[in-house]
C-alpha cells in the first residue's frame, strides 16, 4: 500500500506556523495567482508513484539540486522521506527584481509498506530523482500436496 503523508500541523506546530506565515506573505506580495504559490509551499516538489507488479517506482522533480543535497531514507515504520536542501541565495547583496527560485529545505514523506529495504535503488539524473522500492515477496507460499 502507498499513501502520501499529509503535513500534520498539530505535530509540527512551529513548522506549520512558518508555512502559514510564508503563505500569507506570498499572497500579500503577489496579487496574481497566489494559490499556485501557496500550493508550492505545502508540496515543495512534484512526485509520481507507479505501482508495478514487483516494486513501487517513484519519480520526484528536483531540478537544480546536486546529488549531495538530496537525502532519501526509509525507516522500519514504512515511511519514505525525501529531503533536499538548497542554500540561501548565491547573490546575498543583490537587489532582486524577480525572485522565483526557492531556497531552504524541501521535504516530502510517504507511507509505503511491504518494501524490501535491502534492495532499494536510488538514482538522480537531469533533475529527476528515481527511487525503486521492491515489494516484499509474499510470506505465504502455496504448497501443492500430492494425494496418496
C-alpha 85/C-alpha 71 separation (Å) is 9
Cα three-residue angle 100-105-111, rounded to 5 degrees:
115
Q: Is residue 142 part of a domain?
A: no
Q: Is residue 143 part of a domain?
A: no
- 25: domain CATH number is 2.60.40.790
Question: Residue 42 — pLDDT band, cuts 50, 70, 90?
Answer: low
73 neighbors 42 (Cβ within 8 angstroms): no
Q: Is residue 146 part of a domain?
A: no
Residue 43 lies in domain: 2-88+99-134
Number of domains within the chain: 1
Average pLDDT, the chain: 77
The whole-number pLDDT of residue 125 equals 95
Q: Is residue 147 part of a domain?
A: no
Of 12-16, 30-34, 110-114, the range with the lowest mean pLDDT is 30-34
Q: Is residue 123 part of a domain?
A: yes
Q: Is residue 9 part of a domain?
A: yes
For residue 135, give the DSSP letter.
Answer: B
Q: Is residue 54 part of a domain?
A: yes
pLDDT, tens digit, for every residue of 45-96? 899 999 999 999 999 999 989 999 999 999 888 899 999 998 876 677 788 7
Q: Is residue 144 part of a domain?
A: no
Amino acid at each position: 500500500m502507498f499513501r502520501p503523508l499529509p503535513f500534520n500541523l498539530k505535530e509540527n506546530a512551529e513548522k506549520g506556523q512558518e508555512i502559514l506565515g510564508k503563505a500569507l506573505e506570498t499572497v500579500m506580495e503577489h496579487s496574481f495567482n497566489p494559490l499556485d504559490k501557496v500550493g508550492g509551499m505545502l508540496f515543495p516538489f512534484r512526485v509520481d508513484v507507479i505501482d508495478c507488479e514487483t516494486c513501487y517506482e517513484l519519480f520526484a522533480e528536483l531540478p537544480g539540486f546536486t546529488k549531495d543535497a538530496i537525502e532519501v531514507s526509509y525507516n522500519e515504520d514504512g515511511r519514505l522521506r525525501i529531503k533536499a536542501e538548497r542554500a540561501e541565495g548565491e547573490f546575498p547583496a543583490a537587489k532582486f527584481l524577480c525572485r522565483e527560485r526557492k531556497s531552504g529545505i524541501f521535504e516530502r514523506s510517504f507511507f509505503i509498506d511491504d518494501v524490501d529495504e535491502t534492495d532499494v535503488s536510488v538514482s538522480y539524473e537531469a533533475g529527476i530523482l528515481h527511487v525503486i522500492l521492491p515489494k516484499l515477496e509474499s510470506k505465504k507460499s502455496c504448497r501443492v500436496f500430492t494425494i496418496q
